[in-house]
Homo-oligomer: A and B are copies of this chain.
């Protein structure tokens, strides 16, 4: 139980791209190709991004990232896991995020949850995150979880994983 792993929520546990594509399609009928997504920031791709992220239910109904339940359960048995999620920017997402976590990851207790605005204030040894901005201010081992927006980031100080099976292989 030595090391503490900080695990991101959106893009690592919650499949926010699938949710955004679904909500954008419901709103405007728009569909997206890989070329539309790769290497681009979410607010460039999804024109109603802020509206979706501020909507009650958006995070509560997000689908799971494949194998995230098994993967997180595995980490949780070997390490001290904290879920660290950027969440204070949006009006309605905090309860949704907490209750989504509680439903899908019942082995994660409320004591392991941190909802914040800026992750640089959180202590840990290892960080798994899809956002370079979070990893770049972290002084431990840094694991980049692949999502379309970070597809073209090349940084030799980061370890990249493409899915939860690769996370498990590392630990």
Contacts and interface: CB of A to CB of B under 8 A. Distances in A.
Interface of A: 4, 82, 87-89, 91-92, 94-95, 97-99, 109-118, 121-124
Given A115-B116, A121-B122, A123-B122, A99 B91 contact: yes
A117 B115 CA distance: 9
A109 B114 contact: no
A127 to B, nearest CB: 12
How many copies of the chain does the oligomer comprise? 2
A142 B94 CA distance: 29
14 contacts: A82-B121, A88-B113, A94-B94, A94-B115, A95-B95, A111-B117, A111-B118, A113-B117, A114-B117, A114-B122, A116-B116, A121-B122, A122-B122, A123-B123
B117 A116 contact: no
A121 B111 CA distance: 10
Contacts of A94: 94-95, 97-98, 115
Nearest to A56: B95
Nearest to A97: B94
Nearest to A121: B123
